[in-house]
Amino acid sequence: MSLGSILKRTFTWWNGQTFGTQLFTWRKGQKVGEDRQGNIFYRNADDSKRWVIYNGEVEASRIDPEWHGWLHRIWNETPVERPMPHRAWEKEHEPNHTGTAMAYAPKGSIRRAAPALDKDYDAWQPE
């Protein structure tokens, strides 16, 4: 492990779990489950704290909706204990695409492959 990666783990949370979080998880954490992306979810003995250790990029939108509800105490049972029913019309969960090539580009955006040629407004012209 390089000095740079040690410093990152010591002082930044957005580059993965810090040493403090790793130590707290090791001492107090009870693993309760894992989502499809490999994120691991924990709670302490009295369930006063719930947290996630991300598998890869630390981005909240990468958490599945079932686990989001458990983390934020919308429900008390984990998706392992009480799986959520899924409907045929539901789409797969996707993380936030802002800042990526898959980000939403509205009609007329220069980021679209074929920008719209029709104008939905008329530019003001002084008389």
How do the domains of the chain map onto residue ranges? 17-83
Burial 68-93 (b: 16+ CB within 10 A, else e): ebbbeeeeeebbeeeeeeeeeeeeeb
Say what the pTM is.
0.68
Helix (H) or strand (E) holding 42: strand 40-43
In eight-state DSSP terms, residue 62 is G
| Average pLDDT for 54-80 | 89
Q: How many C-beta atoms lie closer than 10 Å to residue 64's C-beta?
A: 16
Dihedral class, residue 40 (left if φ above 0, else alpha if ψ from -120 to 50, else beta): beta
Q: pLDDT tens digits, residue range 97-106?
A: 888 888 888 8
